[in-house]
């Protein structure tokens, strides 16, 4: 595991239920598309549980009676993505089928994550960072190397754009980050060996 703040450590699997996501907003999709910008300067802001739930749902939430009906398309409905939230108090793993999150590490890992992302320190200022990882094997088992080169990156891009647009709709700002040391990010997030980090998306109140 990566360096942690004093007192940090792995936690059990008790889940935190998230508020039911809203499916009606106060701004149109067209407005959100026009206003979206990459934001790298954040004001102090603590994300509410409702904001957190809405962002995680936008990333990979269930939208129908079947768990493979999600907020973003996925090749073969195989959904190789795993979504995490890095908050000041800990790292949480999103559970789409229950719209809940599980604390996987207690403590503030934001500085470690910023170092792993080549010293992009705005990650520390953000209220949270949505991290998207992938289990390539879920897709390559059916589609082979095309799954690795084409379909999984497409899945991740769909999910990331959802987070960016949802952030704007909530009056927040966000930026996609792809420049990072994969192994270092994996250690900070405590990912299992089969998961590969693909995106970091810091989210917060624009300064």
Q: Convert the pLDDT of each residue in 152-182 to its tens digit.
A: 999 999 999 999 999 999 999 999 999 999 9
Q: What is the model's pLDDT at position 100?
A: 96
Q: What domain count does the chain have?
A: 1
Q: Are 159 and 182 in contact (CB under 8 A)?
A: no
2: in domain: no
Tell me the average pLDDT across 66-80. 95
Residue 10 has pLDDT above 80, yes or no: no
Q: What is the model's pLDDT at position 65?
A: 86
115: in domain: yes
Helix 152-169 vs helix 136-143: crossing angle, to nearest 10: 130
Per-residue confidence at 7, pLDDT binned at 50, 70, 90?
very low
4: in domain: no
Tell me the average pLDDT across 180-205. 97
Q: For residues 81 and 168, give the distance between their C-alpha atoms in angstroms, rounded to a whole number.
A: 22
Q: What is the model's pLDDT at position 13?
A: 61
Q: And the tokens for 10?
A: 């792995």
Give how far the C-alpha of residue 163 lies from the chain's centroid of Cα atoms, to the nearest Å.
8
CATH number of the domain that residue 78 is part of: 3.40.109.10
1: in domain: no
For the chain, the maximum distance between any two Cα atoms, rounded to a whole number of angstroms, is 45
The number of residues in the chain equals: 207
Domain residues for the domain of 58 are 9-206
41: in domain: yes
């Amino acid at each position: 595991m990566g360096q942690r703040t004093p007192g940090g450590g792995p936690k059990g699997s008790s889940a935190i239920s998230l508020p039911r996501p809203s499916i009606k907003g106060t701004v149109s999709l067209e407005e959100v598309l026009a206003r979206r910008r990459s934001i790298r300067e954040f004001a102090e802001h603590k994300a509410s549980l409702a904001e957190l739930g809405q962002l995680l749902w936008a990333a990979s939430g269930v939208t129908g009676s079947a768990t493979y009906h999600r907020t973003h398309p996925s090749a073969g409905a195989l959904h190789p993505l795993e979504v995490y939230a890095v908050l000041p108090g800990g790292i949480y793993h999103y559970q789409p089928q229950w719209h809940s999150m599980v604390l996987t590490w207690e403590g503030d890992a934001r500085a470690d994550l910023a170092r792993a992302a080549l010293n992009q320190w705005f990650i520390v200022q953000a209220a949270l960072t949505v991290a998207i990882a992938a289990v390539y094997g879920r897709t390559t088992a059916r589609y082979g190397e095309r799954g690795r080169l084409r379909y999984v990156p497409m899945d991740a891009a769909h999910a990331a754009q959802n987070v960016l647009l949802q952030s704007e709709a909530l009056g927040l700002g966000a930026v996609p980050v792809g420049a990072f040391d994969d192994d270092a990010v994996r250690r900070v997030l405590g990912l299992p060996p089969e998961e590969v980090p693909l995106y970091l998306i810091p989210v917060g109140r624009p300064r």
